[in-house]
Amino acid sequence: MSDVRFTHIGGPTVLIEFGGWRLLTDPTFDAPGRTYAFGWGTSSRKLTGPALPASTLGGVDAVLLTHDHHGDNLDHAGRALLAGATTTITTASGARRLGGATRALKAGQATRLEAPGRPTIEIAATPCRHGPPLSRPITGEVIGFALTWPGQAHGPLWITGDTVYHRALRRAAARIRPGTVLLHLGGVGFPLTGPLRYTMTARQAVRLCEAIAPRTILPIHYEGWQHFRQDRDGIERDLLHAPKQISDLFHWLPTGSAEHVRI
């Protein structure tokens, strides 16, 4: 059984440590107050800064970047951090934009992280749809990550990425059978597009988790930005109406301090 340390830095940014590895998801380290354009007339203001500054992180072996083209997943300070990471893994289009030794993955493809004295990690890209049907030309390419390594007792670690609930996501999750899920929530919406949502709501998350029955659900990316339509209070209100065997799986990571989870 693997003992994994998760440090939630804010938004989608989590430091994951185990077996000598230090992995970082979607680095966002800018101070609050800026407004970021997301294209097609949409934008959002950052309301909360990181719980830890990038300068305190130390070395990072790999950045798992679900997408590079939205400021709430890769901001200016996060982009600067990429140069110091050993490896960055992201979408095919993101790898072209970032250049260098960035590894490109499309949904269904996989790569490995290997180092002497450490467990080999297989990283498979999972499908995301960052909005309603047919929205990909507008919202761009996004992936999630399923991480598998020796010694996992309860199945892979899955980072969903920014996505709504959809059929390809459910099918991929059923194949992976993750034990632990870093679940991007928040029900992102914009005044320009009315009721349309661009990330999962709690109700969608319950449907997904009912289908795959993970052991632990760690919600992230639901706070700190103006475009979130469902914060922790809203998520917890919806969980009151969810089956208890699902709502009991949700565990809220503290920000800025490490939490140990057995995987």
| Residue pLDDT, tens place only, 99-127 | 988 999 999 999 999 999 999 999 999 99
Q: Residue holding tokens 């095919």?
A: 92
* Residues present in the chain in total: 263
How do beta strands 21-25 and 62-64 pair?
parallel
pLDDT, mean over the chain: 96
* Residue 117 CB coordination number (10 Å): 6
The neighbouring-strand residues paired with 111 are: 123
Residue 40 pLDDT level (bands cut at 50, 70, 90): confident
Convert the pLDDT of each residue in 178-202 to its tens digit.
999 999 999 999 999 999 999 999 9
Q: What domains lie within the chain, and their CATH numbers?
A: 3-262 (3.60.15.10)
Given strand 87-91, what is the order of strands in its sheet? 103-105, 87-91, 62-64, 21-25, 13-18, 3-10, 258-262
The neighbouring-strand residues paired with 217 are: 181, 250
- Reply yes or no on whether the pLDDT at 1 is more than 80: no
pTM: predicted TM-score of the whole model, two decimal places:
0.97
How many Cα atoms within 13 Å fall on the side-chain side of residue 248? 5
Convert the pLDDT of each residue in 30-39 to its tens digit.
999 999 999 8
Residue 11 pLDDT level (bands cut at 50, 70, 90): very high
Q: Three-class SS of residue 97?
A: helix
> In the chain, what percentage of residues exceed pLDDT 90?
97
Query: Residue 39's pLDDT is what?
Result: 86
CA 21 – CA 62 distance, rounded (Å): 8
Element (H, E) at 93: helix 92-98
